[in-house]
Amino acid sequence: MARIVTPLTNTQIKQAKPKDKIYKLSDGEGLQLRIKPNGSKSWLLDYFKPYTKKRTSISLGKYPDVSLSEARDKKRLARELLAKDIDPKAHKDEQQLVKKREKCNTLRLVAQEWFEVKKTKVTPQYAVNVWSSLELHIFPDLGNCPISEISAPITINTLKPVASKGSLETIKRVCQRLNEIMTFAVNTGLIHANPLSGISAAFEKPKKQHLPTITPEELPNLMSAINIASIKLVTRCLIEWQLHTMTRPNEAATAKWCDIDFEDKLWNIPAEQMKTNRAHSIPLTTQSLALLAFLKPISGHRTYAFPADRNPRTHANLQTANAALKRMGFKGKLVAHGMRALASTTLNEQGFDPDVIEAALAHIDKNEVRAAYNRAKYIERRREMMNWWSDKIEISSSGKLPTLVGN
């Protein structure tokens, strides 16, 4: 016949005195209070392991941190697990491991793992911009926060100071990046759902602003300004190179000699240097090749066609062309990137095929097969169009190479 155990009372527990050896007071169903010689009291639950039926015990916490009623609640939960053939001790260890893992997986650490993948899909310059935005706006407040504890209200509150400054474009980009990180965390099993999927709705949408540019009729004014400007030769060549090739400022500034195919008259830009992360080939016109020939004695022995002034081993600053245009009187009227819009408008007005123009501008075609086909199909049509564009630029100017004036 099983021994009947009288449940413990709070008074018994409080009055239990330490002895020379450890002893236990039983509450029934395996729950016991263990009293040590030093006077400490702790709860234990004796039970038989599922399947093996080996006798063991699990700690339920110290008294009085865990009261009698709380110990009984823990016992009840443990016995519910046992009824499902789940070892409560193994279950507890697993839960602690999960919590420890959650604490270790901070937003910064998860973001670093995500970034290792992200940076392989974008240009190095864009990758720097991505990480810098997180370092500046997110990590100071949330970087050490476990990814599982990141919530929409906390994140929105963190971004409010940025929004109050009117930096809505920054808010938009940071929200996009945070959502990518959270999706990465979901896909890698760190969290069950993305809690930030709708945070961009908490902020005003940025108004689309077109980059300053000039009309086709103003091209002669631009060329005249370039010709008489007191700027360095490399800077003058850089502006004209970007204008002739219709490239983005960073693509033009980072042009490498090794990417120039003089035999086929092509500038083959590697994918990692393109905003679209896709390789792009540009037919080189007579005028473009003349610019390279002029630069050859200056930087032909270097890596970059347009070397930096202070350190010629690296490329020109990405803002060099913009700074020069401002000094030439085009502040608020034209930026370096706006020269692409100038070329596009002029070529569209002339009646060139819009698809050929888009291909020349290296705009993304979401249809991968069509994009590859167009790049191959349009190269000769682009060459014809680029020749017309370079001739147009030359007609708008003196047609001469930069002189030593203003060096």
Q: 51 an active-site residue?
A: no
**Catalytic option among 256, 275, 302, 375:** 275
Contact 167, 155 (CB under 8 A): no
List beta partners, residue 266. Answer: 261, 283
Q: What is the DSSP string of 202-234?
A: GSPPPPP-PPP---GGGHHHHHHHHHH----HH
**Catalytic option among 75, 118, 340, 382:** 340
Q: 84 an active-site residue?
A: no
Phi (first) and psi of residue 268, to 5 degrees? -100, 100
Q: 363 an active-site residue?
A: yes
Record the tokens describing residue 403, joined without a space: 């002189």
Q: 244 an active-site residue?
A: no
List, as own/partner pairs, every contact residues 95-101 make where C-beta atoms lie below 8 angstroms and the sequence separation is at least 24, other chains included: none
Record the tokens describing residue 400, joined without a space: 């001469």
**Catalytic option among 75, 248, 280, 315:** 248
Task: Evaluate the CA torsion angle 200, 201, 206, 208 in order and state its sign.
Answer: positive
- C-alpha span between 329 and 229 (Å, rounded): 10
**Catalytic option among 92, 108, 172, 363:** 363
Strand order in the sheet with 266-269: 260-261, 266-269, 280-283
Residues contacting 322, CB < 8 A, separation 6+: 249, 335, 336
Q: 337 an active-site residue?
A: yes
How many residues are present in the chain?
Answer: 407
**Catalytic option among 108, 172, 265, 337:** 337
Active site residues: 248, 275, 337, 340, 363, 373
